[in-house]
Chains A and B, each alone.
Chain A
């Protein structure tokens, strides 16, 4: 029952780390960073001082913070504009975080979870609690920003490529399936490359609204936001262009590699070599 994608941080160090990181990373003017372990989303029962750009003290008792993407907001130009990042991360993602924190103020039972755990608990086995929507969307967006990088796209290498070729036949076939899923999604939702735990193979799935494959115990490897707000400012209704640009220039196969490596701690992908006699 591991939480899928993030290194669980040792409890002794997480409080200190959280303070330091939340202090340092609230500004968005950071150079490109390698992917960070998930200290920030670990819960804090203590009050978090939220420093936004204007440095005013927050009136909201912050249980979860808004994580900045691991690159500057304009680093994905011209494929995803600064304007989109500002609206999408600074508006939508921030609203989900603040909405979640406001809901958590009123609900004792939900204190103390990591983000992954909160998503699964609030999903409540298919009968989602009111907090699920916000929690899942916070998680989804954190995951999404990290699924992209400046200078992304191209092809995966090594283990990820091998696994894709094994489960889809070829990278081209996988790419086709991914694009097709994105274009045939009805309404708002997400497209995912996941590692299915039970079947021990990669698959492309699409989810509606805020649903996240964590709730089915699958391990997400990369995701693409197909809510209209994700592409409308840059591409209007040209979904096809958006998806192709994502595959060609934005998707981070480096991150996918790291996630696959962690996933292999929970899923045995190879056949065990049992010696005879």
Chain B
């Protein structure tokens, strides 16, 4: 069921989970670095708003929706159960995506921006030609994305292939394919860059590569393809 698979996925990502009357209640994961640590690529103001306000709101609304789902399940109220799905997908997706995102970034002094090596680096070179080509593809998709969404470097764990995917709003990557595992994602919602880059999304995308945590991406890759 959608509910169980979502919470299992969240648990496997090592998120903080509290127990309330047997119902899973999610909480805001800690940022692995200071708010200002990603300057000047992403300002401290944006990081703080993004983490403390936006991500927290997704979690609050996610918990609320899950509570309502719990009640609806208890009453076998099908129409409520179905009606809650969009709120769960949106807010739950927001929680999943942002939890991954914080790990996809890391300060320069901790290796942010260092190109991938080993098996991931090799896979990128084989499948895209070079890291530069991948970055170009990624940025093109990001700029072309209308409205709000995410751009992902995805690994199809069954076909063992990398690809660049986009999802709309807060749809998690699995909505594009159940075998897809996110190696990293870039948030292209306006709240992710507006205060600093204004409407020049292209500049945000150009600069964010300086703080991408390729080490984490490699770890995820090597776990799926040992």
Contact = CB atoms under 8 A, between A and B. Distances in A.
Interface of A: 87, 91-92, 95, 133, 186-189, 208-210, 227-229, 232-233, 236-237
Contacts of A228: 148, 189-191, 194
B53 interface: yes
A237 B199 CA distance: 16
Contact of B147 (A87, A92, A209, A237): A209
Nearest to A208: B147
Contacts of A187: 90, 147-149, 168-170
A233 B49 contact: no
A187 B90 CA distance: 9
A232 B191 CA distance: 7
A208 B147 CA distance: 8
A87 B148 contact: no
Q: Which of B49, B57, B195, B199 has the most CB of A within 10 A?
A: B199
Given A95-B199, A187-B169, A228-B148, A237 B53 contact: yes
B93 to A, nearest CB: 10
Interface residues of B, number: 20
Contacts of B199: 87, 91-92, 95, 229
Nearest to A133: B146
B169 to A, nearest CB: 4
B194 A233 contact: yes
Nearest to B192: A228
Contact of B195 (A209, A227, A233): A233
B110 to A, nearest CB: 28
Per CB-CB distance, the 5 closest pairs between chain A and chain B, nearest first, are A228-B190, A187-B169, A209-B147, A188-B147, A187-B148
B146 A237 contact: no
A227 B189 CA distance: 10
A91 B198 contact: yes
